[in-house]
Amino acid sequence: MSIPIALVGVGKIACDQHMPTIAASAHFHLAGAVSSHASDLSVPVRGDLTSLKSAVPDLAAIAVCTPPVDRLRLLKEAFSLGLHVLMEKPPAKTLAEAEMFAPAARNAGRTLLQSWHSRCAAAVEPMRRWLVGQTVRHVTINWLEDVRVWHPGQEWIWSPGVGVFDPGINALSILTEILPSDLSVRESLLSIPANRSAPIAASLMIEASAGHDVSVQFSFDQRGPQSWTIDIETATERATLLDGGSHWAIGGVEQPLEDDRPEYARLYDQFADLIANGESDVDLRPFRLVADAFFLGETKQAPNFLWDS
Ligand code: NAP
């Protein structure tokens, strides 16, 4: 049976990914939206969730596509209305707030998927399986993109605690999924534009309990070719996740993929499975690494950031 779901926040990711994925889904259909501006969706749109639930009484789930502000209040409102929740990354404004998510879902008896869409990229699971039993020597992450291209005009992205970690947390979500080690941040250097409150670049050194390091470079100021790669040197091979996890190679040879469905198709399948099984999935490890990067971070001032520079 198809589950009636509503979008909360109709911005870039809701339009680029959630709407087309729901339209193509066998498990969900779009039944409404909470939005301050959208009016042309062919479904009821209201300014808040409680009003939307009154207008669409059979609404069963929401996908939260707002920036990571005020999420706990929204989550509690959704649970009080009996709704299941798919929450976009990053989870919240603070770690303490995010840690209240799973207990809230348990107490409400509802499903919460704290989503990490990059974990659903086609090459992530094959890479994870390949790494089982390998001895990892070193990992290098380069997540280098131009914020002007990928997040045009999104002022919220410069809020304290966000900046380049908005895409960077995607790399950390893959890292925590594929490595069998516990990870902790050892060094962090944050470059913060003089006119902003969040980093435009970050360099991290993360140590893995298996005894190797992970070198991380995040940039929001990458001109020319963009890069979202994770390189893993093992005792015998070198494997690389490319294009944010949509492809992978061993020893420079691209590997075939058994299942190349898009990330968000898998994400919505995961949400449907969790609802069917009465379960939640709230893994905060990527967010903890980000919190520790800020906790330990040495800061250096970068030139002013301007959208049209
Ligand atoms: P966006 O384009 O700025 O859209 C966010 C929407 O949320 C707005 O259009 C607005 O919807 C609503 N909103 C509610 N409170 C807001 C506030 N204080 N400031 C701005 N918007 C507010 O952002 P987005 O790129 O879609 O990102 C939303 C979430 O998805 C973030 O957590 C982001 O990390 C995640 N995400 C983004 C991408 C991407 O490529 N952009 C990829 C994956 C995940 P209404 O106008 O309808 O009220």
DSSP 31-68: EEEE-SS---SSS-EESSHHHHHHHSTT--EEEE-S-S
Residue 262 lies inside a defined structural domain of this protein: no
129 and 250 both lie in a single domain: yes
Average pLDDT score, the chain: 97
By the 8 A CB rule, do 180 and 127 touch? no
% of the chain with per-residue pLDDT over 90: 97
**Phi, psi (rounded to 5 degrees) for 196:** -135, 170
130 and 237 both lie in a single domain: yes
- Active-site residue set: 89
Question: Where does ligand 1 bind, in terms of residues with CB under 6 Å?
Answer: 9-14, 35-38, 65-69, 88-90, 117, 150, 154, 156, 166
Q: Provide the token pair at 109.
A: 């008896």
Q: What is the CATH number of the domain that holds 8?
A: 3.40.50.720
Q: Which of 97, 114, 131 is the last residue of a domain?
A: 114
298 and 162 both lie in a single domain: yes
By the 8 A CB rule, do 27 and 272 touch? yes
85 and 136 both lie in a single domain: no
Residue 40: pLDDT above 90? no
* pLDDT for 2: 97
- Residue 10 CA to ligand 1 center (angstroms) comes to 7
80 and 152 both lie in a single domain: no
- Residue 74 CA to ligand 1 center (angstroms) comes to 14
Q: Which of 268, 306, 307, 292 is nearest to 19 (CA)?
A: 268
Q: Provide the token pair at 268.
A: 């919505």
Residue 167 lies inside a defined structural domain of this protein: yes
Q: What is the pLDDT of residues 71-85, one digit of tens each?
A: 999 999 999 999 999
Q: Which of 83, 114, 145 is the last residue of a domain?
A: 114
106 and 136 both lie in a single domain: no
- How many distinct structural domains can be found in the chain? 2
Q: Which of 114, 142, 162 is the last residue of a domain?
A: 114
Ligand 1 atom having least distance to the Cα of 37: 46
Instruction: Give, for ligand 1, the residue of 12, 19, 85, 145 to mutate: max count of ligand atoms closer than 8 Å to Cβ.
Output: 12
User: Which run of H or E residues covers position 202?
Assistant: strand 201-208
CA 264 – CA 118 distance, rounded (Å): 9
Residue 37: pLDDT above 90? yes
Instruction: Give, for ligand 1, the residue of 65, 70, 77, 287 to mutate: max count of ligand atoms closer than 8 Å to Cβ.
Output: 65
* pLDDT for 92: 98
Q: What is the CATH number of the domain that holds 136?
A: 3.30.360.10
37 and 172 both lie in a single domain: no
% of the chain with per-residue pLDDT over 70: 100
Sequence length of the chain is 309
74 and 92 both lie in a single domain: yes
- pTM for the structure as a whole: 0.97
150 and 298 both lie in a single domain: yes
- Residue 68 CA to ligand 1 center (angstroms) comes to 8
Query: Which residues are 262's β-sheet partners?
Result: none
The Cβ of residue 71 has, within 10 Å, a number of other Cβ atoms equal to 24
* pLDDT for 309: 85
Instruction: Give, for ligand 1, the residue of 10, 13, 146, 290 to mutate: max count of ligand atoms closer than 8 Å to Cβ.
Output: 13
Angle between helical axes of 124-131 and 165-178 (0-180°, round to 10): 40
Residue 250 lies inside a defined structural domain of this protein: yes
Q: What is the dihedral of CA 220, 222, 223, 228, to 10 degrees?
A: -110
Residue 261 lies inside a defined structural domain of this protein: no
296 and 174 both lie in a single domain: yes
Q: What is the pLDDT of residues 253-296, one digit of tens each?
A: 999 999 889 999 999 999 999 999 999 999 999 999 999 999 99
- Residue 198 CA to ligand 1 center (angstroms) comes to 17
Q: What is the pLDDT of residues 149-207, one digit of tens each?
A: 999 999 999 999 999 999 999 999 999 999 989 999 999 999 999 999 999 999 999 99
Q: What is the pLDDT of residues 87-111, one digit of tens each?
A: 999 999 999 999 999 999 999 999 9
Range of the domain at 171: 121-255+291-302
